[in-house]
Amino acid sequence: MNNEFRDKEFKQILAYYSEIQTGLRGRASREQKVLVRKAFNLALNAHKNMRRRSGEPYIIHPLLVAIIVLKQMNLGAISVTCALLHDTVEDADYTLHDIETMFGTEVSTIIDGLTKIEDVSDTYASLQFENFKKILLYMSKDPRVILIKLADRLHNMRTLAFMPLEKQQKIASETLYLYAPLAHRLGFYNIKSELEDLAMKYQDPGSYNFIEEKIKATEESRELFIARFIQPISEMLLAKGIKFEIVSRTKSIYSIWQKMTKKQIPFEEVYDLFAIRIIIDVDVEHQKSACWSVYSVVTDIYKPNTDRLRDWISMPKANGYQALHTTVMSKAGKWVEVQIRSKQMDALAENGFAAHWVYKQGDSISDDDLRHGRLQNDTQNSEQGIEAWLSSVKEILQGNESYQGEMIATIKMNLYSKEIYLFTPKGDEHTLPEHSTVIDFAYEIDEKLGNYCIGAKVNNKLVPPSHVLKTGDQIEVITSQKQKVHPEWLKFAHTSKAKDNITHAIERQRQMKITQGKTKLKEYLKKYNVEPIKINRDKLMVFTQIGKKEDLYLAIYNGKVTEAIVKKCFSPVGLAYRIFSPLRPAVKWFKGLLNLFSINSAIHRKLNHNPKTVLLGESMHEIKQTIATCCNPVAGDAVIAFSLSDNEIVVHRVNCSEAIQLSARYGDRIVKAKWRIDEKNAEFLAGISIRGFDNKGLVSNITGIIYKDFEVNCRSVQVETSEGLFEGTIMLYIQNVEHLNKLIERLLLIPGVEDVERINSYYEEQQKKKK
């Protein structure tokens, strides 16, 4: 590398470091600045011979992570120090002991939380999951661990273009599935939106570029509309002597796409493409009443949609977010979302979780206060919501009954779920996730209340434990000492706390039944002069074909293994049965062999064998390849494959929600896959939904094009008509994605057909209709 280029890089490194020191001015003591300088020097030395995939010096990464921590999260000097050091143990030759010796226990503890686990002893465990679990557990010790990790992930996402395709898919999926919801839960909405947009850029680049171009194309007209909309509001607020600032915020690309997909509408029909934010400068004591005064001004000018009013001032979100949201009709006939909040509320919304802690020396957040959670009085209630969430996540992670996939799904639910506000008969308020039921509420109050719950009075109306609650409900739980916990409760319990309590109660009941069954067996054996020893118990297990002793005791308790069966086991008939028992596997094998050669089995195997699979992973031969039924990829789709075993892969479309979850949980199982172009006459199952006006002969025209013009075979056709409109779902076999797109284009030319679009599966379409 020539000296000129090296000098240019070093100047850039010093410029970033200078930016950090400038940002700490007035926010850190002299000793803290020395600590940051020491961390910079160590990181510079640790990464001196390392470069990122982009070609830039590795030290650029920790510097930019530190800048995010300092400027976007507004954290202090200790957090900046840890951001600079966060890769020194994982990627360099330094140890945690070295860090502790040079920087102290506090810094080394945070670095330990940020250092990835290299291996797991449990072969069934996911390394990704174990690392995420470690970070969340450390978060309950020190919140800065997850804040620095979010900053690290944000910078990695900004430079993801330099990674290989399979790495892009893994990291983007993990970000969308876990890190963006985490940023949302902690109140970092700007970071959450950027993470979602960057993930979508790699998950679904076509849709991302389409929406980005649309936003740019409509920017001029949108700015003119906003200027006209806010003018009368500004004039009236000035006339009332209110100090304020009005800003506009364009919705993120990912959230626009989510709305388009969920509501099945084009870009032009997304009415909340942007939001108007009114930030008022008022003292804390009067901020709530001032926000309502501004709301009154806005709704005096523009007519509000009362169904869209969101009062998060009276009842803040669990992460502390406070604001009034209303949607009003503009003079141009368009709905506009208006957000109203004070400066302090805005600081909380922008700085998220970190803004709960007190400020020292201007606008900086003290690391010591962040470490120990010393709070201002006015944020105490908000902080309790965060602490309750941290506690619930810790409970989930420390439970050992859940399969890790379930555990991640439960944590994700806790990250993104909306809250409902519920009340006891005495008026005590409790916050639970949306879709919570009576049984969740009962366990939230007390474990015994949940165990003995037989129902509740919700707003004085008698309801069962499965009743779904909504905000404002007042619940009186009804109990009975005769009640027992039922496994069916797990089907409608929504919170992890309720599920864990139910699981533990069921296990306690099971152990009690096993003990009683064991006692009853001893009584039976004693009655027939059979010694209650292991060998005799094993004889009974062979006789009853029960593999585990616990299952035998349960069968005795439940009456499936009766006293008569025990007596028969130790009779001469039972003896003969046990003697011939070893021959049973051979008989079963012989029956299976006969079945293998039967005509019906031969037909079944032929129907299930698909020699035309056209997906291959590189350097893979004779591997079973399965097309995922959740998204039905076809030749030409961007796809991603996952290894199920050494000789089997399953293939999804890259934007399939199931594929995103699998990538987040099992990134190490991603297999590079591509379409083989040498296959002819290959057919893939795909689905289309079609809507329009019910003209005479319309269905005949549609089927004619499908069967005659395109020579496509259909698996199923379902059409419903109502009040002159029709809606249909067609599952058909096509050659590739180009073939499908041409068919859709041709169907759209039929008079009366208004919309044709591809669907993932017939089941998914039916679920949408039910909703």
- Please tell me the pTM assigned to this model: 0.64
pLDDT reading at 391 higher than 90: no
Tell me what pLDDT residue 453 has: 93
Catalytic: which of 56, 91, 166, 727?
Answer: 91
**For residues 665-686, average pLDDT:** 67
Amino acid at 712: V
Least confidently predicted of 182-196, 395-409, 708-722? 395-409
> In this model, does residue 79 exceed pLDDT 80?
yes
Q: What DSSP character marks residue 141?
A: H
**Which two tokens mark 122?**
């449990």
Which residue carries 């600032």 as its tokens?
Answer: 245
Residue 377, pLDDT score: 36
For 517-529, the pLDDT digits (tens) are 999 999 988 888 8
Residue 764 clears pLDDT 90, i.e. is over it:
no
694 versus 65: the higher-pLDDT residue is: 65
Model confidence at 375: pLDDT above 50: no
Given the residues 90, 235, 446, 668, the one annotated as active site: 90
List beta partners, residue 625: 649
Give the pair of three-digit tokens for residue 450: 């949940």
Mean pLDDT taken over the chain? 79
Can 90 be counted among the known catalytic residues?
yes
Q: What does the pLDDT average to over 21-40?
A: 91
In the structure encoding, which two tokens stand for residue 740, read together? Answer: 């499908």
Give the span between the Cα atoms of 628 and 661, in whole angstroms: 14
β-sheet bridge partners, residue 640: 652
Paired residues of 375 in beta bridges: 357
Q: Which amino acid is at 690?
A: I
Q: What percent of the chain has pLDDT over 90?
A: 31
Query: At which residue do the structure tokens 């004085």 appear?
Result: 460
- Evaluate if residue 279 carries a pLDDT over 90: yes
Q: How far is the C-alpha of 166 from the C-alpha of 505, rounded, in Å? A: 44
267-282 burial, b at 16+ Cβ within 10 Å, e below that, comes to beebeebbbbbbbbeb
Distance CA 335, CA 437 (A): 34
pLDDT at 370 over 50: no
Which whole number is the average pLDDT over 226-232?
A: 94
| Single-letter residue type at 443 | Y
Q: Is residue 98 annotated as part of the catalytic site, yes or no?
A: no
> For residue 668, what are the contacts with CB-CB under 8 A and spacing of at least 6?
126, 127, 128
Tens of pLDDT, residues 309-328: 999 898 887 667 889 999 99
- Residue 407's contacts (CB-CB under 8 Å, 6 or more residues apart) are 129, 133, 396, 397, 399
pLDDT of residue 314: 86
Q: Could you tell me the pLDDT band of residue 81, with boundaries at 50, 70 and 90?
A: very high
pLDDT for residue 100: 92
How large a percentage of the chain has pLDDT more than 70? 77
pLDDT grade for 489, boundaries at 50, 70 and 90: very high
Q: Is the pLDDT of residue 18 over 90?
A: yes
